[in-house]
Amino acid sequence: MNERSRATGFPVILRLTDLAVGFGTMRLFEGLNLALAKGEFVGVRGPSGCGKSTFLRTVSRLENPLAGNVIFEEPYTTQASSHIPSYRRRAIYVQQIPVLTENTIEENLRRPFSYKTACGDFPARRAGELLELLFVGQERITQAARSLSEGQKQRVCLIRALLLQPEILLLDEPTSALDEKATAAVEDVLLMEREKRKMSALIISHDAAQAERLCDRIIDLTPLLVAKEGPQ
Amino acid sequence: MIYLSTTDLIISAALVLVAGAVSLIMKLGLERRLLIASVRTVLQLFILGYSLKIIFGLDSPWVLLPLALFMVGAAARAAIKRSTYTFKGVTGLSFLTLAACGTITTFTVTGAVLKVDPWYSLPHVIPFLGMILGNSLTGISLAVDSILESLKEKSNIIEMELSLGATRWEAARDVLAQGIRRGMIPTINSMVVAGIVFIPGMMTGQVLAGVNPVEAAKYQIVVMFMLTAATASGCIVIALLTYKTLFNANHQLELTKILKQKA
């Protein structure tokens, strides 16, 4: 596949074809097609409860699509089950509610580097930099994760994902618990990662202004829902 | 061996009567339960005694097979009956685990250690299988309970690990290890205090039956090792089968399969 995105001129890295999302026999929406290019940030919007989070979980393969495909492009093209962990390492899903273990911040950040899919050693310096950039503070790295506020936990979860240098971030309301200053810092870090590494992202955000600032384009799940429900 | 008469049994029943009288005086409300439990004990153990007398007389592998299946089935059911959570097929997995671990351990002991002849000798195989199933079911019950509870409580952490690239095994490993440890604790504890805090049941029985205490101790050591091996293997096998059932090939935790056990 050598198709390039018209928006960025970079090759397509993730392709969703006729994707249907839901649980069991209940379809939340269907017929979603998307080609995400390298370095492209795409916003996802839709009414509350329409399945935006389930959509990201499906893209990360934590849920199976009810129909259609999630295809990570070459050189990783594969739908084999055994390749799913390494796909998830490259396309990391960061959920809205931060999840950290009861260990220290450092242990939380190091944990993914013990997985079979991890490449390289834990980048301690970069971890310190990101903790500073996102106003958590490098000196807190040895503290228990439970000592952090919700907003700080949210940023530590983002840092944990960024340290793995993913090709794609799947972000579910990444700044929902943050103040204006921290939100701006998160946005700067995300744009810097895009600039430096051509990282792509699918971002759910209720903040329309933020979506405008960060994203190259926005997909709206509402037409898919209407299409699914049929004309009233 | 000292043989007991009916009078001896009545005297021992008097001890329970004392407990019943205390319950009446202190208004503990236990006397009815004590009575029912005592009657059940007498009936169940006499039925067991007479049944075993008949069964042991029928020296055939064809008697052993249905009897062993019945014992394993009852143990498998009991093992998962009191768990807070359950999942479809857990009784079957519990049956498979107990059948495999129980059979292998029993025949290793009766065949390789005691060199019982014939191999199916009912007076030897049945008591050993019974002891193994009794201990293993407790271990399996604790292990399954711990694993399912942890998967429910820590599902967000497990999914976080999966989303960061952990394989299903890496994400489940801690929960499974904790479950296996929980299942093993009673057996390890009883090994640690055996002979210090209490004289184990089988050794007590043999000493009362007139066996040399050193010989009885040797028997008890074999029994303790056998129970530990059976419980450990039972806990490990049930943990792996639970893992295989609840984590699919796509490295997803199928949380909807875990159901609250009906009271």
pLDDT of residue A231: 61
pLDDT at residue B196, rounded to an integer: 83
- Cα–Cα distances (Å) from A58 to A54, A62, A65, B49, B88, in that order, read 6, 6, 6, 60, 25
B250 contacts in A (CB within 8 Å)? 61, 64, 81, 84
A9 phi/psi in degrees, rounded to 5: 80, 0
Q: What is the pLDDT of residue A224?
A: 76
> CB distance A85–B167 less than 8 Å?
yes
Q: Which residue has the higher pLDDT, B143 or A226?
A: B143
Instruction: Report residue A215's pLDDT band, with 50, 70 and 90 as the boundaries.
Output: very high
pLDDT in the model for residue A73: 73
Which positions ≥6 away from A150 have C-beta within 8 Å? A98, A177
What's the pLDDT tens digit per position in B69-119? 999 999 999 998 878 999 999 999 999 999 999 999 999 999 999 899 899
Helix (H, G, I), strand (E, B) or coil at B5: coil
Exposed/middle/buried for B48, CB within 10 Å: 0-12, 13-18, 19+?
exposed
**Packing angle between helix B155-163 and helix B122-153, nearest 10 degrees?**
70
User: What is the pLDDT at residue A2?
Assistant: 47
Residue B241's pLDDT is: 98
Contacting residues of A for B164, CB less than 8 Å apart: 88-89, 92, 111-112, 115, 160-161, 164
- pLDDT by residue (tens digit) across A127-141? 999 999 999 999 999
Number of Cβ within 10 Å of residue B160's Cβ equals 24
Within an 8 Å CB–CB cutoff, is residue B162 touching chain A? Answer: yes
**Mind listing the domains of chain A with CATH numbers?**
12-224 (3.40.50.300)
Task: State yes or no: pLDDT of A97 exceeds 80.
Answer: yes
* Residue-level pLDDT at B194: 84
* Selected residue of A81, A107, A122 to mutate for chain B interface (largest B Cβ count, 10 A): A81
Please report which confidence band the pLDDT of residue B199 belongs to, taking 50, 70 and 90 as the band edges: confident
